[in-house]
Amino acid sequence: SPFGCQAMFFQDEDIKNVATNFVANYLNLWDTNRGNLMVLYQNESQFSMQLDTSHPHLIEDANTSSNIDFGNYMPYSRNLTRISSGKARMSKVAIGTEQIFKSFQQLPKTKHNLVENPNSFSMECYKYVPLNGIVITVHGSFEEVAQPEIADTSASQGSRGGRFHSQSRHKKPNLSKKSFDRTFIVLPGPNGSMVVASDLLLIRPFTSEIPWLNQAA
């Protein structure tokens, strides 16, 4: 294409250093101890997760990964194309450390192979001018290694989403690989610390076919 293709984009050297350290440490703690990430969030920080079950992916991957089960994400998804009630749209954003930590605990435990397989990730990082911060976006995949710490207890899910839940109301969702896109707005905090103002996580079916590996630029 006339645009070219590369796995990584960093607006400048400073952003590159900050962003690569941030992402490496973040994903490591996301996999091992999410509580340790909470120092990055403040009262006005926002987090939400959206699910795109219809995203294109290599079909072979769906057959190998013990079928695609999104049961752990469905109740919390803020895919705004699918939620019309204003109240529901607003209730699915977690604001402040307490709500955000609870949201983190509602998601399956994971393993990101950033060290073992860095090529399977891509990033774009650039300035966020209004607050002198940076926008960091990561694309990649992870394995689900354990069920969430906090399980979904809303019984209404079973009756409302019968198509997805009728069979498995008492069964835990299958763990499998997923692909994702995640965007942070990171601001400079006091004493050289960092603050995550916004954290948007998108979950989609796993795909092993990754465009940024076939670079023809």
Partner 1 sequence: MNQDITQPIEPFLKNLLSSLDAQYNSPGQSFTNVESYATQFGSSLKREAAIIVNGTPIVPSQVEDAKLQFQKKWLSMPNSSHQLTSFDCHLIPGTNTFIINFSARVKFDQSGKNRLGESADLIQQNSIVKTVRPIWGSWFGVNGILVIDSNLNGQEIINSFDYRFTYVPKDTTLVV
Residue 57 C-beta: closest distance to partner 1, Å? 6
Q: Say whether residue 209 binds partner 1 (CB under 8 A).
A: yes
Helix (H, G, I), strand (E, B) or coil at 86: helix
What are the residues facing 198 on neighbouring strands?
A: 46, 185
Q: Judged by CB under 8 A, how many residues of this single chain contact partner 1?
A: 60
Question: Within 143-202, which residues bind partner 1 (CB under 8 A)?
Answer: 179, 181, 183, 185, 197-198, 200, 202
Residue 106 C-beta: closest distance to partner 1, Å? 16
Instruction: For residue 7, give every residue at least 6 positions away whose Cβ sits within 8 Å of its Cβ, in sequence order, or none.
Output: 119, 121, 122, 123, 212, 213, 215
Please answer whether residues 121 and 140 qualify as being in contact, where contact means their C-beta atoms are separated by less than 8 angstroms.
yes
Tell me which of 81, 156, 167, 191 binds partner 1, using CB under 8 A. 81
Instruction: For residue 19, give every residue at least 6 positions away whose Cβ sits within 8 Å of its Cβ, in sequence order, or none.
Output: 10, 123, 125, 134, 136, 186
Nearer CB in complex with partner 1: 64/166: 64
For residue 13, the one-letter residue type is E
Tell me which of 110, 120, 122, 176 binds partner 1, using CB under 8 A. 122
Q: Say whether residue 135 binds partner 1 (CB under 8 A).
A: yes
Nearer CB in complex with partner 1: 57/111: 57
Q: Say whether residue 89 binds partner 1 (CB under 8 A).
A: yes
Instruction: For residue 108, give every residue at least 6 positions away whose Cβ sits within 8 Å of its Cβ, in sequence order, or none.
Output: 72, 144, 145, 146, 147, 148, 175
Helix (H, G, I), strand (E, B) or coil at 40: helix
Structure token digits, residue 68: 């695609």
Q: Say whether residue 20 binds partner 1 (CB under 8 A).
A: no
Q: Say whether residue 100 binds partner 1 (CB under 8 A).
A: no
Judged by the rule CB under 8 A, the positions of this chain that interact with partner 1 are 1-9, 11, 44, 46, 48-52, 54-58, 78-82, 86-87, 89-90, 93, 122-124, 126-131, 135, 137, 139, 179, 181, 183, 185, 197-198, 200, 202, 204, 207, 209, 211-212, 214, 216-217
